[in-house]
Amino acid sequence: MSKPVVIPPLTQKGHAAHCNRCLAGLPASLLDLDGSRMAISFYCLGTLDITGLVDQKITDTDRESWKEWIWDQQAGGVYGSGFRPGPFMTTTENQPSQHLATYSNDYSTPHIIMTYCALLSLAILRDDFTKLDRKGLLQFLRSCQGADGSFSTIPGAGDGDLRMTYCAFAISALLNDWSGIDAPRAFAYLRRCRTYEGGYGQSPTCEAIGGPTYCALASVYLAPPHLAMPLTPAERKQTTRWLLQTQNETGGLSGRTGKLADACYCFWCSASLDILGDRALLNTPAMAAFLASCQFNFGGIAKAPGTTPDPYHTYLSLAAVAIAPPETEDGSWRLQPLNTLINATTDTVKWAKEHIPARAY
């Protein structure tokens, strides 16, 4: 018989503080995040949002300048418009203004993952999205889709995988406009990523892994009914079995069969189960105990006990908890409810869906 699991408190304030520190600045040792600052910002803002601390921790001045910074990353050009990861390829000569910044070469185009992160970050900050170039964004999605149905990070890169398929689907859902993607072709690609284990690989022929499995399932369930390509009952059963198998004796979930548990996969795999309607089958107290052990004393959550925390693992751990919080006496595990398909709080997604789609004036 398994012993009853003791779950230490979730130190929400510390995790929010960790992310607040990262928003203020990252050390030079994290230079390799230069090309993904928008994603880091999203994980930090997402942490403040999911802990319900946005209003308390973000001053009005910060909120306004951060929104401005994000809009500065929106750029338009021959491939359409979207958001760049940060200003690392912009120049003083091409300073953004209130008007849409432009890119004039292939080396400073928008990036599809960063665009997804920017839209959600702006929604967390409750922006009104009047500056969004919706037409340009649809064109950008089209520019990213390749002949095989996959989406590349930037137009023409040819580096397509399921992460970007998900971003294209999530952006289409937020816009409530599916004209930017060729869904049948995207699904043909997605299906090629499915493996004999029941999970999905990052691209066709690759090993089943948690993150891309979430991306595949969320895409399938985000698609509107007339475009949907649901799993067969047998596929669903097999996927649920594989997802549950990723929980090991530590209580944590691993990304692939036989690998070590990792806090981020607690999200990717449990969110996948939630999408399939099978989240209740997972051992919630055991997973929470694992995540509790990944908490860093001075704030932040790491991928595994004893390793260094970062905003990515912090946010995803909290998101995993928010889907199905464990019952504890101290109530410390209660978070804002999550919209699993979009991966932001339900309030933020509601705001996004009210403000991002084009409106007939």
Partner 1 sequence: MSANDPSDTILFAERPEWADLTPVSQYENIQPLAPIFYKPEYKDATDYFRGVVKIGEMSPRVLALTETIIRLNPAHYSAWQYRYQTLLATNSSLSAELELTNELTKAYIKTYQVWHHRRLLLTKLNDPVPELAFIEDALTLDAKNYHTWSYRQWLLAHYDRAEMWAGELPFVERLLEEDVRNNSAWHHRFFVVFERGAEAGEDIVKRELAFAKEKIALAPNNNSAWNYLRGVLDHSHVPYASQTAFVKLYVSASAPQTGTDEVVDLENPLPAQGAELPCAAAIEFLADIYEAEGKAGLSRAVPLWKSLGDEHDTIRKKYWEYRIREATAAAQTS
Q: What's the length of the chain?
A: 361
Q: Which does 353 bind (CB under 5 to 8 A by kind): Zn ion, partner 1, none?
A: none
The site string for partner 1 over 31-60 (x = CB under 8 A, - otherwise) reads xxxxxxxx-xx--x----------------
Smallest distance from partner 1 to CB 220, Å: 20
Any contact of residue 281 with partner 1 (CB under 8 A)?
A: yes
Integer-rounded Cα Rg, in Å, for the chain is 20
Q: What pairs with residue 75 in β-bridges?
A: 82, 101
Rounded to whole angstroms, the Cα distance separating 322 from 317 reads: 9
* Helix axes of 60-72 and 112-124: crossing angle, nearest 10 degrees: 160
Instruction: Report how far apart, in Å, the C-alpha atoms of 326 and of each of 321, 334, 346 are.
Output: 8, 8, 19
Any contact of residue 286 with partner 1 (CB under 8 A)?
A: yes
Give alpha helix (H) positions in 223-309: 233-245, 263-276, 284-293
Question: Contact 348/124 with Cβ under 8 angstroms?
Answer: yes
Encoded tokens for 284: 């919630």
Smallest distance from partner 1 to CB 238, Å: 8
Stretch that binds partner 1, among 10-18, 25-33, 136-144, 332-340 (CB under 8 A): 25-33
Q: Which does 33 bind (CB under 5 to 8 A by kind): partner 1, Zn ion, none?
A: partner 1
Rounded to whole angstroms, the Cα distance separating 254 from 207 reads: 13
Question: Contact 294/301 with Cβ under 8 angstroms?
Answer: yes
Any contact of residue 135 with partner 1 (CB under 8 A)?
A: no
The site string for Zn ion over 261-290 (x = CB under 5 A, - otherwise) reads -x-x--------------------------
Q: In this structure, which amino acid lies at residue 167?
A: C
Task: For partner 1, give the closer residue by CB, 13 or 63.
Answer: 63
Stretch that binds partner 1, among 204-212, 217-225, 325-333, 337-345 (CB under 8 A): 204-212
Stretch that binds Zn ion, among 75-83, 143-151, 255-263, 290-298 (CB under 5 A): 255-263
DSSP 283: -
Rounded to whole angstroms, the Cα distance separating 74 from 85 reads: 9
Q: Which of 52, 96, 146, 325 binds partner 1 (CB under 8 A)?
A: 96
Strands 82-83 and 74-76: antiparallel
Smallest distance from partner 1 to CB 69, Å: 5
Half-sphere exposure (CA, 13 Å, Cβ side) for 191?
12
Task: For partner 1, give the closer residue by CB, 164 or 175.
Answer: 164
Residues in contact with partner 1, counted by CB under 8 A, come to a total of 76
Q: Which of 8, 13, 52, 72 binds partner 1 (CB under 8 A)?
A: 72
Q: Which of 131, 133, 148, 195 binds partner 1 (CB under 8 A)?
A: 195
Smallest distance from partner 1 to CB 337, Å: 22
Any contact of residue 303 with Zn ion (CB under 5 A)?
A: yes
Q: Which does 44 bind (CB under 5 to 8 A by kind): Zn ion, partner 1, none?
A: partner 1
Q: Which does 129 bind (CB under 5 to 8 A by kind): partner 1, Zn ion, none?
A: none
DSSP 310: -
Which residues lie closer than 8 Å to 253 by C-beta, 6 or more apart?
A: 210, 246, 247, 261, 262, 265, 266, 268, 269, 270, 287
Q: Which spans of this chain sit near Zn ion (rule: CB under 5 A)?
A: 262, 264, 303
